[in-house]
Structures are given as structure tokens and as C-alpha cells.
A and B are shown apart, each in its own frame.
Chain A
Amino acid sequence: MEQTIISLKNFIPECVLIVTILVCLLADLIVRKKSAVVAVIGIAGLFVSGWFVIGQFGVKESVFFGMVVIDPYSVFFKLLFIVSTVFIILFSLASKEIKDSTHTNEHVYLMISLTLGANLMASSVNMLMMYLALETVSITSYVLAGYMKKSKRSSEAAMKYVIYGAASSGIMIYAMSLLYGYTGSMNIFEISSILSKMGGTNPMLVIVMVMILAGFGYKISSVPFHFWTPDVYEGAPIPVTGFLAVTSSAAGFAVLIRFFSVTFLKSTTMLNGSLQIIDGIRWTEIIIVLSVASMIIGNFVAVWQMSFKRLLAYSSIAQGGYIMLGLVVANQQGLTAIFVYLVAYMIMNLGAFYALIMISNKLNSDDINDMKGFAYRAPAVAVGMGIFMFALSGIPATVGFVGKFYLFSALIESNMIWLALVGMMNSVVSLFFYIKVLKYMFLSKPDEENSGKIYYGIAGYVLLFILVIPTLLLGIYFGPIVRFAEMSAVMFGLK
């Protein structure tokens, strides 16, 4: 009892989120029509929670009997999730798809509960907690993907998502039950120390590892588990798509990195520079295969896409591949590179999805053919989209370049030059389809019947500007994010 009360002190951000969800729910019942009030309450709650999260910086503590830890690693991810949720709620206010749906304001508290689940995913160190947090995120995102009840596409996307998600999390917990039977513990630190005593010669452990990777890999949409991604991204409303691309996949990375670098490394050796994998469990090689496959399939299939949402889906599969390259290095530098890349990834993707919301609000379509000559009709939005596309492909002087630079230099310093080369060649391929969008927007003339100018409200331009500024500024002045990433690359229980 006493420990529970002490633990609650370190659990305030999550408690604030829970209270916010309940207050939003009540406010929605009272207001009973579409209104910004619920969204404002939600954003206020997120800010309060974020303020408490910042207060946790530097704390390294295990709370609730070793279920959850508070460490700089989890604080980084929590801040990332909260910031992206604030933006996504703002996007959903602007989105026509959400406005036209039959619901009132459910999306606000669904999004905040997804954030709650993601926060727990980033900080859990027990397999039970990992599974529950993952399911919180999954179940909420099934509902969000099917948010437009009247739309065939949205409900089809939700159906595909729920089947894939439930099956792969079922496979994951089966593997977790086997790991529990083999080691007799649910806590990943205990599992790690037991495994390093026993050695990993049992072939069952490899099967367990691959099956657990199926559960986490579906969240980050890594290649053999990526089939849901394009369909769900295309069917879901665009703010939800952005949310899945940013928060849900970053949460998948949070839990994947913590699980693999704690469980399958010899206890407390990860951040010394040299990697000591438990004998017999060569998980870095599997990660290399998945990462290269994700980059190649993501980038090459995106070349043929004519739906912008599908293009962004394949692009996010490829970006997931880049992030996994940092996990292969698995030392302090690799983790720092992952963090820098995740910040860049969040800013670029949020920007791209917001620009897409602005475009498809007016065009009622996400087909690239319909965007012909968009630059003549709404120049500011087209230029914004251009900046985000350049950032996603990693052109210098944008934040995307900084992320890729840190990843590839971490790879080169640990003598994995060929992997860095594969990554760079993939960036070149990705440039092709990102520029293809811009070619349609800038170089072709609009059709005769719809060539009128398109105007947006001032709020729309302001939000776009808020996202363009860090994309460019952090590309030149990237000291702060690198320092922040270096400070955050500290995990509980690892020296």
C-alpha cells in the first residue's frame, strides 16, 4: 500500500491524462454537438500532463512493483506523444472528414486514450504491462480507423486492422507465455539476467523472439508484418492516419527498443559501446533483415502509388526501416540517432499530413492526379507540402537530413558501412516519389474546369507555418534536438 502511494507520485502525468479523458467524455455529453470546447479541454489536459512529464526529467525510478519505470528514455517518448497528440487534435478540428462524420467529439478522448496507452508502452518493463499498453493503443486505433461509420472505406480499413492486430498480438502473447515458462518471470530485467546465466542455446528462444517481433513489428509496420498499413492508412480519416503514422508507430519503437535491448543483451552492457548479445540469440541480424526489407519494399512500392495516403503509408514503412538501422547499432550513439530521427520524423510527418488535410478538404480526394497544378491554385500550401516532401526524402537544410545524417554516421562508426550504403541508396529512390508529387503540383497546369484559386482561413495558414518553421530551422540549428536526444538516451537499469 505504501509503495503504491509513493508510486502514484511518479504517475501523475498518466493520472492527468485519465482525468482528461473522463472530463472530455462528460463535456461531450453536456455539449451534445460538434464543438471546439471538448478539443480545448483535451489540449489543456495534454499540456498539464506534458508539464508534469517535463518535471520527471532526470528521474530514474521503478514504480508499481517493477511494472513501470520512469527514466529519461520514457520521458522523451511521452513528450513526443503528447506534442503529436496536441497537433493531431488541432488537425482533426480542421479536417472535413471528421467534421462530416455522424459523431460529435468522440475522437478527442479516443486520441487521448491512445496517448495514455502509448505513454505506458514507452515506460513498461513487464511483459504484462507491455501487452496491456499495446492493446490499449491497438483497440483505440481500431475504433479511430473506423471513425467514419457511413464510409465503406473506413469500415473496411477498421476490419482489416482489427484482424491483423488481434492475430499478431495473439502470436506475441503466445511467445510471451513461452518465455515466461522458460525463465519463470515476467519482468524483463529478471528475464535478461536468467537468460544470460542459462545461455541462449535453446532453439525455442529464437522462435519466441521472432513471434514477439511479430507483435511489435505490426505496430511499427515493419516489412513482413506491414500488409495492413497501406489499406488502413488509405481508409482511415487523414488526422487518424497521421496519428497512426506518428504516435502509434513511435510507441511501437519505444517498446521494441526497450524489450530487445534489455531482454536479449547480457545484463547491463548495452551502453558501453560494445554489444554483448546473449549467446545464440542473434537478434541484430534479424533486425538487419527486417530493416533492409522495409526500406526496399517501402520505397520501391511507393513509386507506383497514385493515392497520396498510400504513398505516405509506404513512405512510413520505409522510415520505420531507417529507424531500425539505429537499433542494429544498439549503443548510446545508435539510440541518440534513433531519437534525433524520431523527432525529425514526427515534425515532417505531421506537416505532410496537415498539408494533405488542407489539400483534400478542398479537393475531396487524395489522388495525386487531382492535385495537378495545385501550386497555381493555393501556392502557400503547395510550397509547404514541398518543404515537407524534401524533408522526408532527407535533403540538406531540412530536419530530415539531420535525422538521416546521425543514423548513417552511427552505422559507419560501428563499421557497418554497407548498411549505411543501402540506406543512402534507398534515400535516393525515395526522392523520386516525393518529387513526383511536387511535379504534379508545380509543373502541370490545372484542368480547365477547376482552376480557381483556393483560399483557407488564417488559422490554417498559421498551423502550417508553425510546422514549416521547425522543419527548416531544426535542419540548420540542430544542436538542441541532438543535446535533448543525448540526454534522453538513458534507460533504467542499463549502465
Chain B
Amino acid sequence: MNLWLFILMLSSCDIRFILLVLFLNLSLLLINIMIDINFYLILSAILFAIGVIGVLVRRNAIIIFMCIELMLNAVNISLVSFSSFLGNSSGQIFVFFVMTVAAAEAAIGLAIVISLFRNKETLNIDEINILKW
């Protein structure tokens, strides 16, 4: 840790500067303990879980689509980290295709949202209930 910076930090009363210095130190600390693949996988699992929970509990169709995108991006993180860990490039190639498919799916999904909104004037999926049982 840089002594000069520390002194500057203490002498300064700017909260933004203090936060910046703390952040820099924290990242130096993390690099020192070696970020291994588990961190990326845990991040990806958390993102995926947030996506799945969002799909299950949110009621607005557009937010559900956003949560699905979140699931796909969690997959991307997991693929890229495995790929770099294994030294095998096919995972990274998969990511390109996942992104393309996600874009296509979002386009189709939003088109369907528009056509549904024109017919029913709502995006709340609790009110989309003509077809049941």
C-alpha cells in the first residue's frame, strides 16, 4: 500500500477520493489472493438463480424477458470461465452463438409482446388468461 496515498487519503476530506483509494486497495488485495475459477462460477450461479427467480416471480412480460437474458448471460460467464480454465476455445465459440440466439429470441419475444399489447392492452401476465385448463 502506498504510504503517500494513505496520508493523502487521511488528510483529504473528499469522500469520493477515499472510496477510490479503498477500492484500489481492495482490488490489489483480491489479485494477491488469486481469483480462481470458483469466483466466476459462483457469480454465474448467482446470476442464473436471480434470472430463474425473476422469471418465476415477476409479473411484467418485459421484465420476464430481461430475466431470461440474465440467465443466458450467466451461461456465457460460466462458458467463458470454463473455456479459459480448460484452455479450450469451443466454450468461447459457444458464447457467440448464445449471444446471437439471445438477440433473435429477444426480437421475436418483443414482437410477440407488441402484438399481444395491441390485442389486450396489458403486459401483466396474470391478466393474460383466456386460455386455461
Residues on A lying within 8 angstroms of B by beta carbon are 127-128, 131-132, 135, 139, 142-143, 146, 149-153, 155-160, 162-163, 166-167, 170-171, 173-174, 177-178, 180-181, 184-186, 230-231, 234-235
Contacts and interface: CB of A to CB of B under 8 A. Distances in A.
Contact of A170 (B68, B88, B119, B130): B68
B82 A174 contact: no
A173 B72 contact: yes
B5 interface: no
A137 to B, nearest CB: 12
A153 B119 CA distance: 9
A30 B1 CA distance: 72
Interface string B51-94: 11001000001001100100110110011001001101011011
Contacts of B85: 181
Interface residues of B, number: 42
B94 A143 contact: no
B64 A128 contact: no
Pick the 5 closest A-B CB pairs, nearest first: A181-B82, A170-B71, A231-B131, A155-B116, A177-B78
A166 B68 contact: yes
B55 A167 contact: yes
A176 B39 CA distance: 19
A131 B52 contact: no
A146 B93 contact: no
A154 to B, nearest CB: 9
Nearest to A142: B108
Given A162-B108, A177-B82, A184-B86, A171 B131 contact: no
B71 A171 contact: yes
A88 to B, nearest CB: 21
A180 B120 contact: no
A128 B116 CA distance: 32
Contact of A160 (B48, B86, B128): B128
Interface stretch (B7-15, B17-25, B98-106): B98-106
Interface of B: 41, 48, 51-52, 55, 61, 64-65, 68, 71-72, 74-75, 78-79, 82, 85-86, 88, 90-91, 93-94, 97-98, 101, 104-105, 108-109, 112-113, 115-116, 119-120, 125, 128, 130-133
Given A155-B112, A159-B113, A166-B68, A173 B131 contact: no
A242 B41 CA distance: 42
A156 B105 contact: no
Given A159-B128, A170-B72, A178 B78 contact: yes
Nearest to B78: A177
A156 B97 contact: no
Nearest to B128: A156
A246 B109 CA distance: 24
B79 A180 contact: yes
Given A135-B105, A181-B78, 13 more contacts: A128-B93, A128-B94, A139-B105, A146-B115, A156-B131, A159-B113, A159-B116, A160-B128, A170-B68, A174-B48, A174-B75, A178-B78, A186-B91
A162 B71 CA distance: 15
A301 to B, nearest CB: 8
Contacts of A142: 108-109, 112
A152 B120 contact: yes
Contacts of B74: 174
Interface centre among B55, B82, B116, B130 (most CB of A within 10 A): B116
Contacts of B112: 142, 146, 155, 158-159, 162
B91 A180 contact: yes
Contact of B119 (A127, A143, A152, A174): A152
Contacts of B104: 135, 139
Nearest to B107: A139
A336 to B, nearest CB: 34
A149 B115 CA distance: 6
A150 B116 CA distance: 9
Given A156-B128, A181-B82, A162 B109 contact: yes
B79 to A, nearest CB: 5
6 contacts: A139-B101, A155-B120, A163-B65, A174-B71, A186-B91, A231-B132
Contacts of B65: 163, 166
A128 B71 CA distance: 17
Nearest to B104: A139
A133 B37 CA distance: 30
Interface centre among A135, A151, A152, A159 (most CB of B within 10 A): A159
A447 to B, nearest CB: 25
Contacts of A156: 116, 119-120, 128, 130-131
Contacts of B130: 152-153, 156, 235
Given A170-B68, A235-B131, A132 B97 contact: yes
Contacts of A174: 48, 71, 74-75, 78
B28 to A, nearest CB: 29
A142 B97 CA distance: 19
A132 B97 CA distance: 8
B75 A170 contact: yes
B59 to A, nearest CB: 12
Contacts of B93: 128
Nearest to B76: A177
Contact of B68 (A131, A155, A167, A181): A167
Contacts of B51: 170
Nearest to B114: A155
Nearest to B37: A181
Nearest to A149: B115
Contacts of B109: 142, 162-163, 166
Contacts of B119: 150-152, 155-156
A131 B101 CA distance: 9
A231 B25 CA distance: 55
